[in-house]
Amino acid sequence: QVQLVESGGGSVPTGGSLRLSCQISGYTGGDCLAWFRQGPLNKREGVAALYTGTNDRYRGNSYYDNSVKGRFTISRDTADGTLSLQMNSLRPEDTAVYYCAAAPAGCGLHPLLYKHWGQGTQVTVTV
């Protein structure tokens, strides 16, 4: 059974940085790990995704929403499998609950691809 546990959220001022982590267990053979967020409007949107499958054509590919390109970086620790999201130059509009998610097949930023979800961690960016 796949389990995802996020950590690292908190409150930071505009321009600050945070690093989110997602501890993953039971995830083998899937195509994609990603970070989503759900803000005050309650819409769950994809932030960043990382291809984890075996197709060499896509190995190492990452995908970012335009709103976070150049500010956020998704990565995975090869030693223990932890998924991370380094968030720099944070803005008030980045305030949301951030979720880690795993997809069995396919990779991208659409939530329907993802079967497994963590419980989320709150990120608040103050003015």
pLDDT, position 29: 83
pLDDT, position 40: 87
- Encoded tokens for 90: 């944070």
What type of residue sits at position 27? Y
pLDDT, position 1: 87
What type of residue sits at position 60? G
pLDDT, position 13: 98
Low-confidence ranges of the chain (pLDDT < 50): none
Query: Which residue from 127, 120, 64 is spatially nearest to 96, judged by alpha carbons?
Result: 120
pLDDT, position 49: 98
Classify 66 in phi/psi space as left (phi over 0), alpha (psi -120 to 50) or beta.
alpha
pLDDT, position 39: 94
